[in-house]
A and B are shown apart, each in its own frame.
Chain A
Amino acid sequence: MSTETEPCCQTPKLGLTYGALLLRLWLAVRAIQTGIEKYAGTSVSDQPVKMDGAANSYGLSAASSVKEYAMSHYHGVPAGLMDKFKAEPLMRSYSLGSFTLDPLKIYDVVLGPTLLVLGVMLLLGIATRTSLFLQGLLYISLTWGLILIKQDDGVSWLGVHLVLIVMALALADHNRFAILKKW
């Protein structure tokens, strides 16, 4: 009987490696691009309307908006949701002497950078298990917020993300191409 690994058994292992890489890549792209979109906004440009090939003399303008990325456009929590969160009693700010703790404001500030950092860690394979775990916690925090404002579709959507993270953790032993394999 041969002690070498049978060719038939190598295929499932390679498949699991591919699976781990695909999941890692998907979750990384999802987090990175979501983080980048937090810096997206529109710039409105205003051009005089051309009539007979020249700028009109009446001062009529045509505005067009272009999507762009800039630090000044940063919005961790979308404005539409922010107003709903502010109305939630569990989201209120706390006064600690002369210091006011506003969890919503803090969350708004850190959400975008956190998504970017965790996404890049996952992409490069830096402490993959830990970065997956932290990303899972982040999605749980988002889920809690959406439960508060009764966004059930969003809760389900984030639940799918969490299942993917759990699957990625389950496949972590098959992870390859990682800069820091520890943790």
Chain B
Amino acid sequence: MNQPSSSLSRRDFLSKTTAGVGAGLVLGAPTILRAAEAGSSDKIHVALCGMGKQGRVLFEAMSNIPGLHFQAVCDIWEYNRQSGVAKVNALQGHKPTAYSDIDEMLATEKGLDAVVVATPDFWHSPHTVKCLEAGLNVYCEKMMSNTIDGARAMVKAMEKSGKLCQIGHQRRSNPRYRFVLDQLINGNKICGQIVNINAQWNRAVNSSRDIAFSPKLIIKQDILEKYGFKNMSQFMNWRTYRDLSGGPISDLGAHQIDIFNWFLGATPKSVFASGGRDFFKEREHFDNVMAIFDYDTPQGGVRAFYQVLTTTSAGGGYWESFMGTEGNIKMSEQTAYTTLFREDSAPSWDPLVERGYLKKKAALPKPAANSGAIASYESKPPEGFELPGDLPMVKTASGNSPKPPHQPHLENFFAAVASKGAVKLNCDARHAFLSEAPIYYVNPSALSHQPIQFTPEHLSV
């Protein structure tokens, strides 16, 4: 059973996260789950709460995991509900019970082991707390909540119930991220001293527009209001409303800012942010946000710059770049965006290539010899490398493809459930809170045009 220490300090949460879990458990998870597949009584009985876009992404990832039985589906929108029922039926050969209300589901369904919560952010905390109090283990999508108090309530509910609560920061279970942190940054210290972090998620306007809906599929007004939505448009586009979500910085940024804190083993001491409604002028949330976090780490000070732009894809997608005195690791869930560079003055990485820890990339083109006086101020071009592997392949309807990025994190959760906590969660609610807490202050900093210096009260449960 997962019972994280409530006295966990902000500084050492990384080390406990990494060392406590152990890389081998990532590999061990499918083995434990295959054991659960043996008989239906051994299966993990799962309810799916929220079958919108993200709920379907999670379901697709779970459909590759052995030993799961999807017992119930819950969504207030009939369209999502029926779609979820059909998908589950197609996977396991019989329909799950469908519910429009989570209270009814929790009161009716017997024998559930776990609930996967993928509802809008402002429902994460109430739904997760309800499920934990009902004695169920919970996998909840990030951001934990639209408010820091909602997130605090989740941590308290997890610790009071003694149940497992994994937050969907899926990179924490990604073999590539775990390998980079354990072996390259901490083990072989290829970055030297990390002095800066730069990360972004830049998304084109067309991918950020409001989601349209068919008038035939509108939810009745009284149902919408019962669940906190003013109308169908707000239901479809809840991510753009202040009372319902944290906006792009939490929607997209939380994944990556979590990696800052995880990799540095620290939480920031301050944040200074700027944001604006530059294109989507009618929206409540900023469409473009930039934030600078200041860290004190055992190695020294680090500044981390993050930008989320929902108005342009210029700049090459989404990635996190860890810049050190000896090397730079540019990470992304997308293999294509991942590159490592060795500074010319750093010790050779060839031994790591020989040991299988890195692969060398083709040499970068050299600048022209006579590029003028400015060249004398430039550094030599760094040597390029790439990671030696990717997520393993899984069989899908369209052939073999890399394991979906959420699958390892879900495997870790269900392995923890199957082992009754012997397998530790890679991102339980307390660790997720420590990582997410600074993000709740980005929008306030941008709104007030003032930096915010964090105190223990800001970042503690």
Contacts and interface: CB of A to CB of B under 8 A. Distances in A.
Interface string B328-363: 000000000000000000000000000111000000
**Residue among A48, A50, A51 having the largest count of chain B Cβ atoms under 10 Å:** A51
Contacts of B23: 57-58
B130 interface: no
A113 B220 CA distance: 58
A66 interface: no
A53 B387 CA distance: 17
A58 B390 contact: no
Interface string A134-158: 0000000000000000000000000
**Residue among A48, A57, A58, A63 having the largest count of chain B Cβ atoms under 10 Å:** A58
A173 interface: no
B389 A60 contact: yes
Interface in A52-67: 52-53, 56-63
Contacts of A56: 179, 356, 389
B27 A59 contact: yes
Given A44-B400, A46-B400, A60 B355 contact: no
A46 B356 contact: no
Contacts of A60: 175-176, 179, 387-391
Interface string B366-403: 00000000000000000000011111110000011010
Contacts of A52: 355-356
B388 A62 contact: yes
Given A44-B393, A46-B392, A51-B388, A59 B357 contact: no
A86 B296 CA distance: 61
B390 A62 contact: yes
B215 interface: no
Given A44-B400, A46-B400, A59 B356 contact: no
A62 B355 contact: no
B26 interface: yes
**Residue among B355, B356, B387 having the largest count of chain A Cβ atoms under 10 Å:** B356
A52 B392 CA distance: 19
A58 B178 contact: yes
**Residue among B387, B389, B400, B402 having the largest count of chain A Cβ atoms under 10 Å:** B389
Interface residues of A, number: 16
Contacts of A23: none
Interface residues of B, number: 24
Contacts of A58: 23, 26-27, 175-176, 178-179, 182
Contacts of B179: 56, 58, 60
Contacts of A49: 356, 388-389
A48 B391 CA distance: 10
A51 B179 CA distance: 11
B408 interface: yes
B39 interface: no
B93 interface: no
A21 B388 CA distance: 52
Given A44-B400, A46-B400, A59 B392 contact: yes
B24 interface: yes
A57 B389 contact: no
A57 B391 contact: no
A51 B354 CA distance: 9
A46 B179 CA distance: 18
B190 to A, nearest CB: 14
A57 B23 CA distance: 6
Nearest to B388: A49
Nearest to A59: B175
A51 B359 CA distance: 12
Nearest to A50: B356
B390 A63 contact: yes
Interface in A33-91: 44, 46, 48-53, 56-63
Nearest to A49: B389
Contacts of B390: 60-63
A53 B27 CA distance: 18
Interface string B445-461: 00000000000000000
Nearest to B393: A46
Contacts of B356: 49-53, 56
Nearest to A61: B392
A53 B178 CA distance: 20
Interface in A98-127: none
Interface string B391-426: 111000001101000001000000000000000000
Contact of A59 (B355, B387, B399, B408): B408
A51 B352 CA distance: 9
Contact of A62 (B178, B389, B400): B389
B391 A61 contact: yes
Contacts of B402: 63
Given A56-B389, A57-B27, A58-B23, 4 more contacts: A46-B392, A46-B393, A49-B389, A58-B178
The 3 closest A-B pairs by CB, nearest first: A60-B389, A49-B389, A61-B392
Interface of A: 44, 46, 48-53, 56-63
7 contacts: A46-B392, A51-B355, A53-B356, A57-B24, A60-B390, A61-B390, A61-B393
